[in-house]
Structure 1
Amino acid sequence: MPEPANGATANPRTLLGWDFVQDPYAVYRGMRDDAPVHKVVVKTLTVELNAWVVTRYDDARRLLADRRLSKDGDQMPRIVERHKVGTERTDTPVVRNMLFSDPPDHTRLRRIMGRAFTVRRVQTMRPWIERTVHELLDRVTPGAVTDVVRDIALTLPISVIGRLLGVPDDRHEDFRAWNGVLTSVTAGMAEKQAAFRAAGACIAALIKAKRADPGDDLIGALVEAGDGDEALDDDELLSTVFLVMNAGYETTASMISSSVHALLVDPGAQRALRADPALVPAAVEEFLRWESPLNLATARFTVAPVLVGDVVIPEDELVFISLAAANRDPGRFTAPDRLDPARPANAHVSFGHGIHHCVGAPLARLEGEVVLRALLDRFGSWELARPAADLVWRNSLQFRALDALPVRFHRV
């Protein structure tokens, strides 16, 4: 297996090592058993930070909904600067969307988004998503190697999010390229800032066009959200569209590729779904628990001391909640390291919990269900084109995603 470019080595107390990225669960098991929370070094997409990491399910679920853990985007740059490792400038941008806000701002932003991004809007996309998936699978040559990550998992969500927002088809690849830079752990700060500016300029142009002619898409609905407190200002609108464009793409792509991977390494689970396709929705939930697309929930900071077990996290400390660790906690899940497509009462936390529960969860679930049903229906036999031990997980502490997943699909 290749080593990372920076030559990092495994260190359970920093969570920065290559071995940890490839298989975090043994480390998380030890952390869960050792203490309720750990002070470690966490590498975000831009900077290394001294932060607390929560790994137990009950603590994770409670703290995801605890108002003493703030996500205030105005204050986050100050907190990041205080806890960063090293002296390099971070230039953390101030963002104004519902992911990085607290009530009452969050309440207003979530209400506006909720009226525009409805379950009905998601369900009306099902026929189009089904057609798009079948068009993608039409390009799969039976017996030839298909990279599920590149050809399916990354391709479908960018098309879905683009259509949802009303982004022209010829700009989808631009957003895919910009997102690749912004979520990279190797791209430099200057490159990330350039990608951020380019994406922001493109979104601003789209918003301007939608103000003149809203159309029947999410940006148009957000533009027409209302007046006064019920309207998004320009900064909020741009940040909200940027959030939907990126968050809904990266995590859904990870979920799709991890689901296919799970069915490849566990043939019994694949046989169970073939025997009873009605299990697919429950299986999607299990795949989300088995490999959470987000390893760590986005950063929070304490606005008051918080007791976790017998440990007090002081005020103004950064806290990351490990969704991946919580989803494998034997205190909540029976045989958590076993894949069970029919697992009952699967209360995983991959979409978060509380007021910041992922608003795009219904759309992600729909995409996962449609892809899996289509693959199982079309191809009666799947085989990895590379030994499972040689597959490489992306060098990221935030996302849990395969770099590539080469597969041979057969019609028999």
Structure 2
Amino acid sequence: MSGTGEVGVLAQPFGAGFAGDPYGVYARLRAEGAVHRVALPDGAAVWLVTREADVREGLADSRLSVDKKHSGSGFKGFSLPPALDANLLNMDAEDHLRLRRLVAQGFTPRHVEGMRASVQAAVDGFADRLVARVEGEGVADVVAEFARPLPLKVIGDLFAVPEGDRERFSRWVAGMLTPASREELAGAVQEMHRFFVGLVAARRAAPGGDVLSGLIAARDAEDRLNEDELVSLAFLILMAGSENVQHLLGNGLFALLTHPGQLAALRERPELLPEAVEELLRYAHANHTAIRRFPTEPVEIGGVRIPAGDTVLLSLASAHRDPARYPEPDRFDIGRADKGHLALGHGLHYCLGAPLARMQVTLGLGALLRRMPGMRLGVTAEALEWSTTFRFHALRALPVTGSR
């Protein structure tokens, strides 16, 4: 399966059996080689890096560019209009740092800590709604009632997104990440483009103290970013800031509910919750791969020579289950000694919103465990539906019961 650039493209490993056992597929790939030439579902040929040491090194390797101008033929990711595509995930070095510095002040640990009271209030409000639904109807969906609306509220407030637009935005993101058809994908991209151009225009006409207004001021008064970069930054932060937290809350709570020993330990010692969140980031993180990379020159990864311009996918999901790094990697253990993971990135592209994401997940899970001591799955684990692609693995819904 591994080899040089002349190796033929494999039949895709992301076929019918992948959704049912993605980590089993990654285990097989890891055992057979560090790097594999594989076909994605659309037939595009990519190099898949499977072992933790190589993935970690690749994330910090400046020769692996995220800029599409370095791509040859093959997978490039979403096809987006320039006004959504000129974002941090498509920029290297100076351009990346220039934009990152502009928005970073809104996500520093100090600034995020100042948001704690407002985040806690949002958590409590959605927890109230979830508990009331369980007590009234016997069962409620954590994703719909809590995990999806919480980050939409938090990141929406940070960018002053009108309340009435937030649920529509969530549907468009779902249409981009897991479209039922090419038409749905194209429609979601079109609606998203229209929404963000309109949002920027509205904030420009009536600026406030939100992060987006600050970026507009930098664009208009200081000329530190162009209009496409401005719109793209808003798009990226709102999409990543809402989706990643939603999926970690859903996947994370599922992991806890299906590991009763770990759940009991956490209930007995709630001060361990921050450590549990780090283990959940390793064990239950939804993103299977980092953003695609393109070598700017021939590179060798795991003993395999990869030509310049080819597409490289660094598999976070496989890295997080690599026994060479984590003893018994398929075991969920909130007391695991090695808390290192790659879920929030490594190197230049480390997640800008990491402090805010950690706060929301920690406060969110803490509130649910505290408010619903009798919580359990409302259906069998086998009945749950997942959205699974080579990119990510996330619950569509998480019915729970037993609040008291």
Question: Could you state the TM-score of these two structures normalised by the residue count of structure 2?
Answer: 0.91
| 1:101 aligns with one of 85, 91, 113 | 91
2:123 maps to 133
Distance 2:222 2:340 in 1: 35
Aligned partner letter, 1:137 = A
Count of residues in correspondence between the two structures? 388
Which residue is 1:83 aligned to?
74
Quick one: which of 12, 37, 40 aligns to 1:39? 37
Q: Select 1:63's aligned residue among 51, 58, 75.
A: 58
Secondary structure of 1:407's counterpart equals strand
Corresponding position of 2:158: 164
Pick closer, same or farther for the CA change 1:237–1:84 going to 2, 3 Å.
closer
Aligned-residue offset at 1:256: 0.3
Amino acid paired to 1:280: L
Deviations 1:332-354 (A, max 9, x none): 11111111112223111011111
The Cα of 1:102 is off from its aligned counterpart by 0.8
Q: Choose which of 234, 237, 250 in structure 1 pairs with 2:243.
A: 250
In the alignment, the residues of structure 1 paired with residue 67 and residue 222 of structure 2 have an alpha-carbon distance, to the nearest angstrom, of: 19
Cross-structure match for 1:180: 174
Amino acid at match of 1:83: G
* Mapped partners of 1:32, 1:228: distance in 2: 51
Letter in 2 for 1:367: Q
Deviations 1:261-319 (A, max 9, x none): 01111001111111111100010010110022201111111111111122111111100
Q: Return the offset for 1:390.
A: 2.5
Please give the alpha-carbon distance, in whole angstroms, between the structure 2 residues aligned to 1:384 and 1:18: 27
Offset of 1:130 from its aligned partner? 1.3
Query: 1:34 and 1:145, CA in 2 relative to 1: closer, same or farther beyond 3 A?
Result: same
CA-to-partner distance for each residue in 1:146-189, whole Å, 9 max, x for gaps?
A: 1112221112111112111110111111211211211124231x
Distance 1:157 1:15, change over 3 A: farther
Return closer, same or farther for 1:144/1:335 CA change in 2, 3 Å cut-off.
same
1:93: Cα distance to partner? 4.2
Over aligned residues, Cα RMSD in angstroms? 2.1
The within-5 A match list for 1:219-298 is 219-225=212-218, 231-298=224-291
Question: How far apart, in 2, do the equivalents of 1:93 and 1:40 lie?
Answer: 28
Return 5+ residue gaps in structure 1 as ranges. 1-11
Structure 2 unaligned spans of 5+ = 1-9
Q: 1:92 to 1:162 in 2, by over 3 A?
A: closer
Distance 1:48 1:346 in 2: 36
1:11-410 mapped onto 2 (5 Å cutoff): 13-43=11-41, 47-76=42-71, 79=72, 82-83=73-74, 93-94=81-82, 95-139=85-129, 140=131, 141-142=134-135, 144-188=138-182, 190-225=183-218, 231-410=224-403
Distance 1:31 1:362 in 2: 33
Task: List per-residue Cα deviations over 1:186-230 (Å, max 9, x = no partner).
Answer: 231x33233222222222222123223321111012122377886
TM-score by length of 1: 0.89
Q: How far, CA to CA, are the matches of 1:40 and 1:296 in structure 2? A: 14
C-alpha distance in 2 between matches for 1:229 and 1:35: 50
- The alpha-carbon deviation at position 145 of structure 1 amounts to 1.1
Residues 213-254 of structure 1: CA distance to partner in whole angstroms, max 9, x if unpaired? 321111012122377886221100001100011111111111
Offset at residue 125 of structure 1 (A): 2.2
Aligned partners of 1:182 and 1:192 also within 8 Å: yes
State, as a whole percentage, how many aligned pairs show the same letter.
39
Distance verdict in 2 for CA 1:18–1:247, change over 3 Å: farther
CA contact (8 A) 2:70 2:309 kept: no
Partners of 1:14 and 1:183 in 2: how far apart? Answer: 19
Q: Greater shift after overlay, 290-299 or 136-145?
A: 136-145
